[in-house]
């Protein structure tokens, strides 16, 4: 009998699987590639919300767990997936500069905000009010991570590349059975696909569609990430990822002309050099109504668990939340009330 079946191999599924394998658990992962928000994500980890100059939820703790986690995966997979990536916030007014310095006075933020403003960052990105650098930032190549991790699972015969059929899941006294597999527990890490999961679709999961454009700009010569009305993320070879949009109403995963035009218009206000749009990518981020993860045990079926709702910060959140969930299951540790799905269950 298996210890765990995991449904989904995005950031959540990978983090959960790694935690379980580190404990010597027997796992089997189902992944059909239907949810792509992890693989198309910008991959940037940044502890600061740059719109308001506030620390993201639990970001300091999450950062301490995430960096060693991804470095261990680099060693395990033999590929480079994490790199330091400086992030600069372009100021549009003296007021924003003042807000930056006010935020620096807060104990939680002072370690992440550089007080030495940069007056000129790049010839093609002019600013009358300088740039502020965020410390402790970087990028995870999520596409490379997911591709190589699936390759590892496949090699170890731990991966089933097909859609999980919830109707074939049977609840039994000692766990669950699914077709020819029996397991003590199952953890659903399905991203926005959870909306079709009859066991957990009662949870308030909302799709948040994000779209990026990929541009080629040979004159830009930018080697850092810049945040203004949009993010510019260098990809190498004069390519840059620009985004992202946030749309709570569109649940079609495909790219839209509206988002493309919006991003182009915002980019033209930010850079002065020529660029060419060569691609557009999109995905549906899984987010909860209170913007906190959805984690925990099913209220009626003790062998069923969920790990979802990471929104746009999955790179930073996933390793810490996966550890919390596995410790909850294996060691009976309490889950933080802010992430426990019990907050949405009426008793």
How is the chain split into domains, by residue range?
2-46+143-204+289-344, 87-136, 206-286
Under 8 Å between Cβ of 213 and 277: yes
pLDDT under 50: residue ranges of the chain: none
The whole-number pLDDT of residue 39 equals 54
Give the C-alpha separation, 107 to 120, whole Å: 28
The whole-number pLDDT of residue 168 equals 97
The whole-number pLDDT of residue 41 equals 67
Closest CA to 149 of 214, 89, 72, 61: 72
Q: Give the right CATH number for 2-46+143-204+289-344 from 2.40.10.220, 3.40.50.300, 3.30.70.1150, 3.50.50.60.
A: 3.50.50.60
The whole-number pLDDT of residue 336 equals 95
Whole-prediction pTM: 0.93
* Distance separating the N- and C-terminal Cα atoms of the chain: 33
The whole-number pLDDT of residue 35 equals 63
The whole-number pLDDT of residue 8 equals 96
- Write 237-240 long-range contacts (CB < 8 A, 24+): 239/214, 239/215, 239/278, 240/214, 240/215, 240/216, 240/275
* Phi, psi torsion values for 290, nearest 5 degrees: -100, 10
Arch. (CATH architecture) of 206-286: 2-Layer Sandwich (3.30)
**Helices 314-331, 11-22: crossing angle, 10 deg rounding:** 40
* Phi, psi torsion values for 261, nearest 5 degrees: -65, -40
Distance of CA 125 to the CA centre of its chain: 27
* Phi, psi torsion values for 233, nearest 5 degrees: -120, 115
The whole-number pLDDT of residue 248 equals 83
Give the C-alpha separation, 272 to 45, whole Å: 27
The whole-number pLDDT of residue 207 equals 85
The whole-number pLDDT of residue 49 equals 93
| Coil vs helix vs strand at 13 | helix
């Amino acid at each position: 009998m298996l210890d765990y079946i995991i449904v989904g191999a995005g950031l959540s599924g990978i983090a959960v699987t790694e935690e379980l394998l580190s404990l010597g658990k027997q796992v089997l992962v189902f992944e059909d590639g239907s949810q792509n928000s992890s693989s198309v994500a910008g991959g940037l980890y940044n502890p600061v919300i740059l719109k308001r100059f506030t620390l993201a939820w639990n970001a300091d703790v999450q950062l301490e767990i995430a960096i060693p986690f991804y470095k261990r995966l680099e060693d395990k997979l033999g590929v480079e997936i994490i790199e330091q990536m400086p992030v600069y916030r372009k100021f549009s007014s003296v007021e924003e500069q003042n807000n930056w310095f006010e935020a620096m006075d807060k104990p939680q933020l002072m370690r992440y905000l550089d007080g030495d403003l940069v007056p000129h960052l790049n010839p093609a990105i002019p600013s009358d009010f300088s740039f502020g650098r965020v410390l402790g930032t970087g990028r995870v190549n999520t596409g490379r991570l997911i591709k190589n991790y699936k390759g590892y699972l496949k090699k170890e015969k731990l991966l089933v590349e097909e859609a999980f059929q919830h109707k074939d899941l049977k609840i039994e006294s000692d766990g669950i059975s699914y077709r020819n597999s029996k397991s003590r527990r199952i953890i659903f890490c399905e991203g926005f696909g959870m909306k079709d999961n009859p066991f957990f679709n009662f949870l308030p999961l909302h799709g948040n569609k994000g779209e990026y454009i990929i541009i080629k700009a040979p004159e830009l010569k930018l080697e850092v990430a810049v945040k203004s009305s949009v993010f510019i993320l260098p990809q190498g070879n004069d390519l840059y990822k620009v985004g992202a949009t946030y749309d709570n109403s569109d649940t079609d995963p495909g790219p839209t002309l509206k988002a493309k035009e919006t991003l182009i218009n915002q980019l033209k206000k930010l850079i002065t050099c020529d660029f060419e749009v060569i691609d557009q990518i999109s995905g549906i981020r899984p987010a909860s109504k209170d913007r906190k993860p959805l984690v925990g045990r099913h209220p009626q079926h003790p062998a069923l668990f969920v790990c979802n709702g990471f929104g746009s910060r999955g790179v930073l959140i996933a390793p810490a939340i996966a550890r919390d969930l596995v410790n909850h299951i294996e060691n009976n540790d309490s889950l933080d009330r802010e992430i426990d799905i019990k907050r949405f269950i009426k008793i």
